[in-house]
Amino acid sequence: MGLTGGIGAGKSTVAKTFIERGAYHVDADRIAREVVEPGTPGLAQLAEAFGPEIIGVDGALDRPALAARAFVDDESRKLLNSITHPLIGARTKELTDAAPADAIILHDVPLLVEGHMAPFYHLVAVVHADADVRLDRLVNLRGMDADDARSRIAAQATDEQRRAVADLWFDNSGTPDQLAAQAVAAWEERLIPLRDNVAAGTAAPLPTDVRDYDPEWALVGQRVVGRIWALLGANASAVTHVGPTAVVGQAAEPVVDIEATVADLAVADSVSDALAGGGFPRVASSDVERLHVSADPGRAVRVHVRPSAH
């Protein structure tokens, strides 16, 4: 799963709560520092690209000096990213591959939304606090300059952008204990069942009662469309939210139906394992489709994998 939240939102409290319960922690910030430590190829590449002045007298990266050179224009930023991103990605994969088979892997990524990474996780959890609350914490608890704190908050994703990708939304307007309690409930009621269902290839039960239209259905549809694209890639020619929950204002069973169009049923069969591993095990086959259902007990979804001519 991916965990994110704006600076000062309280993400570390949620991460700590998950880690205490056995989550395998992959910290993007730590990795970003690790790949440019003294003596690393990453630091040498940065010095070659931006000059030896970015290395301090202690042999460590002088981050303000790097920022003065790397954030002057788009071309410099792209050069910086072309060096650091592959190193971060490789180290992230190395750590992820080393996780125990039954682990719930927690990718702690501050810029998950900004990096458009949400579709690559089974679930995305967002820790939220209003901007004024975050500003107060940054200034009064961390000692950050107020103008610097405001600029950092403004440079990150908006609340609306985070909410659009959030499968889990943790409200940190209260105490740390209250935030931790939300995380514990999510761990026990959603993350553990999802982990176990994916391992067993088991779909979560789907609700059958009809409910009034819920705008959240459209948001879930958008998130799952992105997830299915990430899982199928070039095997799909179209992925669309269909069915009653895609109709604004219509009452329906609260199940989001996704249609993934592929070339033929042979391709539908070939992507079955990818969908199952991604949280959508196959539950039925017919002459017109392969039906997959979400393993997530908190997200009722059917994925209809159909050939282009059906």
pLDDT band, very low/low/confident/very high, at 6 (cuts 50, 70, 90):
confident
Task: Give the pair of three-digit tokens for residue 231.
Answer: 């899982």
Distance separating alpha carbons of residues 299 and 236, to the nearest angstrom = 22
Average pLDDT of 61-90?
88
Query: Is position 12 annotated in a ligand binding site?
Result: yes
Query: Is position 180 annotated in a ligand binding site?
Result: no
Using DSSP bridges, classify how beta strands 24-27 and 105-108 pair: parallel, antiparallel or unpaired. parallel
- The side-by-side arrangement of strands in the sheet containing 24-27 is 24-27, 105-108, 2-5, 124-128, 168-171
Q: Are 47 and 126 in contact (CB under 8 A)?
A: no
Structural domains for the chain: 2-198 (3.40.50.300), 216-307 (3.30.460.10)
Strand (E) or helix (H) holding 304: strand 301-307
Query: Is position 22 annotated in a ligand binding site?
Result: no
Query: Is position 11 annotated in a ligand binding site?
Result: yes
Mean pLDDT computed over every residue of the chain: 93
* pLDDT tops 90 at residue 64: no
Whole-prediction pTM: 0.88
Nearest Cα to Cα of residue 8 among 210, 145, 172: 172
More confident residue, 64 or 83: 83
Distance separating alpha carbons of residues 215 and 160, to the nearest angstrom = 14
- Cβ neighbours of 243 (radius 10 Å): 19
Low-confidence winner among 27-36, 82-91, 128-137 (lowest mean pLDDT): 128-137
Enumerate residues 6+ apart whose C-beta is below 8 A from 157. Answer: 6, 111, 113, 114
* pLDDT tops 70 at residue 255: yes
Average pLDDT of 170-184?
94
Q: What is the pLDDT of residues 208-238, one digit of tens each?
A: 999 999 999 999 999 999 999 999 999 999 9
pLDDT band, very low/low/confident/very high, at 310 (cuts 50, 70, 90):
low
Q: What is the pLDDT of residues 100-138, one digit of tens each?
A: 999 999 999 988 998 899 999 999 999 998 888 888 888
Query: Is position 173 annotated in a ligand binding site?
Result: no
The rounded Cα 96 to chain-centroid distance in angstroms is: 14
pLDDT value, residue 309: 74
Percent of the chain past pLDDT 90, that is, above it, reads 78
β-partners of residue 144 are none
Query: Is position 10 annotated in a ligand binding site?
Result: yes
* pLDDT tops 60 at residue 173: yes
- Reported residue count of the chain is 310
Task: Give the pair of three-digit tokens for residue 133.
Answer: 């609350």
